[in-house]
Amino acid sequence: MKIVMCKRFPPKGYSAMMLVWWLLVKEGYQITPRLLIHEEIHSRQQKEMLVVFFFLWYGLEFIVRLIQYRNWDKAYRNISFEREAYANQDNTGYLSERRRFAWIHYLVTN
């Protein structure tokens, strides 16, 4: 993973964004082990979905969640990819035990 510090990206309200092999981090934001685990989970998701399909699914699921919740933040946090990453970002052993396509178990929301 190559870390790239950026002034204007990711967009306002977000501190970091994983793009396959590059971790884009907003300047001034502290890179923590928690952040690295969260973003590495996204990297694995992207690779197993051949990148393009990850972003297509992500966008479509976000639209569905936005209609479902009528709230931007709640829609974002309930995308299955984000649910997996947030649920496991504090588990230092998760990446070594994670099964392929583990995000599918997070499709059903509470």
pLDDT at 109: 64
Which residues sit opposite 3 in a β-bridge?
Answer: 23
Question: Mean pLDDT in the chain?
Answer: 95
Does the structure show a pLDDT above 70 at 110?
no
pLDDT at 108: 86
What are the tens digits of pLDDT across the range 20-69? Answer: 899 999 999 999 999 999 999 999 999 999 999 999 999 999 999 999 99
Determine the average pLDDT of the residues in 8-31. 93
How many whole angstroms separate alpha carbon 84 and alpha carbon 90? 11
Q: Which residues contact 35 (CB under 8 A, 6 or more apart)?
A: 15, 16, 25, 89
Q: Where are the domains of the chain?
A: 2-106
Alpha helices (H) in the chain, listed in sequence order:
33-48, 52-69, 72-77, 80-88, 94-97
- Using a pLDDT cut of 70, give the percent of the chain over it: 98
